[in-house]
Amino acid sequence: MSATAEIAKKWTCGRCSMSVSRMDGGRAELPDSWDSNEEGDFCLTCRRERAAEAALEAAPSDSNAETRAKLRRAGLIEFEVLRTPDLADGQIARACRSSAAAVAAARERLQLGEGPPPSSGGRVSGRAVGRV
């Protein structure tokens, strides 16, 4: 989220046009999983997609489908590791539909050290963790 806590009656994603608002019509801060920057406001799904697409921009134009898929996946995993570094590798892997080994490799590429140990039962702060 941007440095200033913006408040609005409705937030609309600049990419997919999904919007969120309070049921009572009141004003609310940008949702925690969203980001607001000079390019617009973006929901978590679109933030993930933008990260994957950004990773593809560095690919040579003659890259095959397998290479492009690996770059997309790496970009998504790196985004999630940077967004939620305190989650265990397995939890991030589930959110990315990947493996804990791929998340550990991303942490290493980003020079973040090892992630926290796996939590019991896939729970964080008393909430069940599922697909994000």
Which ranges constitute the DSSP H helices of the chain?
A: 44-57, 65-83, 89-96, 100-109
Does the pTM of the predicted model rise above 0.85?
Answer: no
Question: In the chain, which residues have pLDDT < 70?
Answer: 1-5, 119-132
Identify the pLDDT of residue 128.
Answer: 45
Cβ(89)–Cβ(107) under 8 Å? yes
